[in-house]
Amino acid sequence: MITVSGLNKTFNQFPALSDINFTVNKGEVVSIIGPSGSGKSTLLRSLNLLVRPDSGQIQIGDKHINADTLTRRQTADFRRQTSMVFQHYNLFKNKTALENITEILRFTQKLNKAQARERGEELLAQVGLAHKAAAYPGTLSGGQQQRVGIARAMAVDPQVILFDEPTSSLDPEMRREVLNLIEGLAGRDLTMMIVTHEMGFARDVSDRIFFMEHGHIIEQGEPAKIFQTGSSNRTRSFLHDFA
């Protein structure tokens, strides 16, 4: 589903991503862990082309881009392959929960008003928020806002959903409801990449884990390998500091 080769990104000569290579299969759930500043967000944002890589190639589904020859049109087209769930939800504050979803459906899927509404209500029901369709984000809890964010990400029917620390802004008691929702999605046939500091969650939900440091994926493998014996000293020391 995803193939990345030779991906590089520098910010003012600082290498945020250095020669990133990996593949992700359809339906696979990959968590990305690692210290702050290691390039996790930059990697996700590169897949979505919110960050323009300096060099390298990315294939997602049936679309392929080469950073060297990327055009504006290709960028817009390629962006539709993925959708992003952000740490701070990024909902429109002046639109209701339902409108936050129907807006995107009308623009990207070209649905009419009635169709968008029907699909939007269906998506809110899937995240347990059918009763909050008319509520504005400011009246919802953080956990509820993030569930709307996830419904919106699913609305465009993406090939891949990218989560960037989806629970980092939430109080502990609200984290669980969002993690449970993501865990439920993981059981479906969705392909997901999740940047997270929730190690228990990463271990339970992921097919594979990438450990990043200094712009490199320095280790990857099944959770059992990363969290148990097989992992490198560096990964082990990160997990130890974390616990």
- Least distance to ligand ADP, CB of residue 8, Å: 12
31 is a site residue for Mg ion (CB under 5 A): no
Q: How far apart are CA 31 and CA 96, in angstroms?
A: 31
38 is a site residue for ligand ADP (CB under 6 A): yes
Q: Phi, psi at residue 129, to the nearest 5°? A: -125, 30
Please spell the DSSP secondary structure of 50-72, one letter per residue: SS--SEEEEEETTEEEEGGG--H
Which CB atom, from 41 or from 100, has the smaller least distance to Mg ion?
Answer: 41
Which CB atom, from 37 or from 128, has the smaller least distance to ligand ADP?
Answer: 37
Q: How far apart are CA 192 and CA 176, in angstroms?
A: 18
Count how many Cα atoms sit within 13 Å of the Cα of residue 55 in the half-sphere of its side chain.
Answer: 5
Binding-site member from 16, 49, 178, 194 for ligand ADP (CB under 6 A): 16
41 is a site residue for Mg ion (CB under 5 A): yes
- Least distance to ligand ADP, CB of residue 13, Å: 10
Q: Phi, psi at residue 91, to the nearest 5°? A: -85, 155
- Least distance to ligand ADP, CB of residue 168, Å: 10
Nearest to 31 by CA among 230, 243, 237, 239: 239
Which residue stretch of 26-34, 40-48, 110-118, 131-139 sits at the interface with Mg ion (rule: CB under 5 A)?
40-48
Q: Per DSSP, what are the bridge partners of residue 149?
A: none
Which residue, chain included where needed, has tokens 């990207």?
A: 108
16 binds, among ligand ADP, Mg ion, none (CB under 5 to 8 A by kind): ligand ADP
- Least distance to Mg ion, CB of residue 199, Å: 16
- Least distance to ligand ADP, CB of residue 56, Å: 15
The residue whose Cβ lies closest to Mg ion is 41
Which CB atom, from 111 or from 209, has the smaller least distance to Mg ion?
Answer: 209
Provide the strand spans (E) within the chain. Answer: 2-11, 14-24, 29-33, 55-60, 63-66, 82-85, 160-164, 191-195, 208-213, 216-221
Binding-site member from 31, 39, 47, 193 for ligand ADP (CB under 6 A): 39
Question: Six-digit token pair at 3?
Answer: 């193939």
Binding-site member from 31, 40, 147, 209 for ligand ADP (CB under 6 A): 40
Question: Six-digit token pair at 207?
Answer: 């097919």
38 is a site residue for Mg ion (CB under 5 A): no
Helix or strand run (H / E) with residue 126: helix 113-126
167 is a site residue for ligand ADP (CB under 6 A): no
Give the footprint of Mg ion on this chain (CB under 5 A). Answer: 41
